[in-house]
Amino acid sequence: MMPEPRPAAAADAAAIAALDARVNPSPWSADAVRETLARAGGFVIASPGAPLAGFALFAQVADECEILDIAVDPGARRHGLGARLLAAALAAAATRGARRCFLEVRASNAGAQAFYRAAGFVEDGRRKDYYRSGQGREDALLMSRALP
């Protein structure tokens, strides 16, 4: 059976941060995750091999939402978990009145850009030298999509 996302709870913060530390070049601390879950929102998803195989964190202000962080365990990718997490976050934000969703993604992260494009996001612009990268900096691509 396909796993379904569930809303993330404060008790998920440590596992979310542990997964983020494995896959994100600028990982969030468990405290930062906890604070985001309290102030904004998040979803987690299981896979047959892992109780927490992916997560999505998002924020919402009035009619805009932002995907803050999303990741799937490398061993569980390309099975639709990320798409389900993203859809759950967008649906929750839309229910609370969001009309458009924004995000930033590293210019070098072609996989995530393809993932967002597949979910209907389009590139709006670029923030120069937005991310720390090794010894230097790298640009952020700004992407967005309308919510139904």
Ligand X SMILES: CC(C)(COP(=O)(O)OP(=O)(O)OC[C@H]1O[C@@H](n2cnc3c(N)ncnc32)[C@H](O)[C@@H]1OP(=O)(O)O)[C@@H](O)C(=O)NCCC(=O)NCCS
Residues assigned a catalytic role: 104, 116
Please answer whether residues 145 and 119 qualify as being in contact, where contact means their C-beta atoms are separated by less than 8 angstroms: yes
19 interacts with ligand X by CB under 6 A: no
| Minimum separation from the CB atom of position 107 to ligand X (A) | 11
The count of C-alpha atoms lying within 13 angstroms of the C-alpha of 96, restricted to the half-sphere facing its C-beta, is 15
Nearest-angstrom CA–CA distance, 105 and 123 = 10
**One residue of 8, 16, 33, 72 binding ligand X per CB under 6 A:** 72
Which residue number, 6 or 97, has a Cβ lying nearer to ligand X? Answer: 6
Binding piece for ligand X, criterion CB under 6 A, among 30-38, 87-95, 107-115, 121-129:
107-115
Nearest-angstrom CA–CA distance, 38 and 115 = 27
118 interacts with ligand X by CB under 6 A: yes
Q: 120: which residues sit within 8 A by CB, 6+ positions away? A: 145
Query: What is the binding site for ligand X (CB under 6 A)?
Result: 23, 70-72, 77-83, 105, 109, 111-112, 114-115, 118
